[in-house]
Amino acid sequence: MKPSMMRSACQLLRRRSYSSTSGQPERKVAILGAAGGIGQPLALLMKLNPLVSSLSLYDIAGTPGVAADISHINTPALAKGFMGEDQLKEALEGSDVVIIPAGVPRKPGMTRDDLFNINAGIVKNLATAIAKYCPNALVNMISNPVNSTVPIAAEVFKKAGTYDEKRLFGVTTLDVVRAKTFYAGKANVPVTDVNVPVVGGHAGITILPLFSQATPATNALSHEDIKALTKRTQDGGTEVVEAKAGKGSATLSMAYAGAVFADACLKGLNGVPDIVECSYVQSTVTELPFFASKVKLGKNGVEEVLGLGELSDFEKEGLENLKGELKSSIEKGIKFANEN
Binding-site residues, please? 33-39, 59, 106, 112, 119, 142-144, 178, 254
| Strand 97-100 versus strand 28-32 pairing type | parallel
Outline where DSSP puts E strands in the chain: 28-32, 54-59, 78-83, 97-100, 138-141, 168-170, 198-200, 207-209, 275-282, 290-298, 301-305
Residue 260, C-beta contacts closer than 8 angstroms, at least 6 positions apart = 13, 173, 177, 277
What does the alpha-carbon distance between residue 58 and residue 137 come to, in Å, rounded to a whole number?
Answer: 16
Q: Which of 14, 124, 202, 294 is catalytic?
A: 202
Distance from the Cα of residue 157 to its chain's centroid: 19
The Cα-based distances of 127 to 71, 83, 133, 141, 218 in angstroms read: 27, 17, 10, 10, 43
- Residues paired with residue 278 on neighbouring β-strands, in sequence order: 294
CB 268 within 8 A of CB 181: no
Which residues line the annotated binding site for NAD(+)? 33-39, 59, 119, 142-144, 254
What does the alpha-carbon distance between residue 335 and residue 320 come to, in Å, rounded to a whole number?
Answer: 24
202 is catalytic: yes
Q: What one-character-per-residue DSSP string does 178-236 give?
A: HHHHHHHHHHT--GGG-B--EEE-SSGGGEEE-GGG-BS--S---HHHHHHHHHHHHTH
Residue 187, C-beta contacts closer than 8 angstroms, at least 6 positions apart = 214, 216, 218, 220, 221
CB 252 within 8 A of CB 165: no
Active site residues: 202
